[in-house]
Amino acid sequence: MLNQPTIEKLHTMKLHGMADAFRAQLETPDLSQLSFEERFALLVDQQWLWKENRALARRLISAKLKERAVIEDIDYQHPRGLDRKLMRTLSSGEWLRQKQNLVLIGPTGIGKSWLGCALAQKACRDGYSVLHKRMSELFRELSIAHADGSIGRVLLKLSRVDVLLLDDFAMAPLKDSERRDFLEICDDRYQRRSMILTSQMPVAHWHEQIGDPTIADSILDRLVHNAHRIELHGESMRKKQPRKPGEEDGQ
């Protein structure tokens, strides 16, 4: 039989999913009752699934999500004003297709970052590229990029990410270089890519945290006017129950 050489050739051509499916067919006698077209379709489907899973794994690694969150685990029981209908709409991904933004506002521990990561993870599953950073981390990297001359390359990379998830926006007043860099990021992404921002600071205070009135107007115009806004309130979800080491809660 030439089955083993066939499997080796499939692996050489990097058709690993098809090779695994072919081996499985050889080990499943019942499949011999299927037609050639049906068995071949199963091989192609398995190869397609293998490639999709590999691509998703790469997107999730590149996203660097800081929470292991999925939308299926969202907790709607905790009283925090989370609109189930809105979350269902966001889960459909239409806001991404429309190049809109998402703003999550609320006190510490209410689950803003977790929800942002859950929606970002769904975006990865839907084929979008994602990058997750804290604002302090972003500004630190931009400062280094200015110093070593790589700022253009860093800003270009940020502009090409489909979904940019930024945590803890407006926690502290922005420095001049920070607000100018952030304006450029917002300008590059406006109506081209989506952003998810989380903040403990109400949107009404963002203007004063950004600082320069003209730049603040420009940033907010690009961020807020086409954004879905989720304002959460209530007690910290971390108080809900003790978490065991390594245990993940849905939020």
Q: Residue 63 is which amino acid?
A: A
Strand partners, 230: 104
CB count, 10 Å around CB of 47? 20
* 3-state secondary structure labels for all residues of the chain: CCHHHHHHHHHHCCCHHHHHHHHHHHCCHHHHHCCHHHHHHHHHHHHHHHHHHHHHHHHHHHHCCCCCCCHHHCCCCCCCCCCHHHHHHHHCCHHHHCCCEEEEECCCCCCHHHHHHHHHHHHHHCCCCEEEEEHHHHHHHHHHHHHHCCHHHHHHHHHHCCEEEEECCCCCCCCHHHHHHHHHHHHHHCCCCEEEEEECCCHHHHHHHHCCHHHHHHHHHHHCCCEEEEECCCCCHHHCCCCCCCCCCCC
Phi/psi at 83 (5° precision): -85, 110
Position 158 scores a pLDDT of 97
Position 27 scores a pLDDT of 83
Q: What is the chain's pLDDT, residue by residue, as a tens digit (251 residues)?
A: 578 888 888 888 888 888 888 888 888 877 778 888 888 888 888 888 888 889 999 999 999 999 999 999 999 988 899 999 999 999 999 999 999 999 999 999 999 999 999 999 999 999 999 999 999 999 999 999 999 999 999 999 999 999 999 999 999 999 999 999 999 999 999 999 999 999 999 999 999 999 999 999 999 999 998 899 999 998 888 766 555 455 445 57
Q: Is 111 left (phi over 0), alpha (psi -120 to 50) or beta?
A: left
- In order of their start, the domains of the chain are 3-62 (no CATH), 64-239 (3.40.50.300)
Asked if 217 and 182 touch (Cβ cutoff 8 Å), the reply is: no
Q: Is 82 left (phi over 0), alpha (psi -120 to 50) or beta?
A: beta
- In tens, the pLDDT along 56-93 reads 999 999 999 999 999 999 999 888 999 999 999 999 99
Position 57 scores a pLDDT of 94
First to last CA, the chain: 54
Position 243 scores a pLDDT of 53
Q: Name the pTM for this structure.
A: 0.82
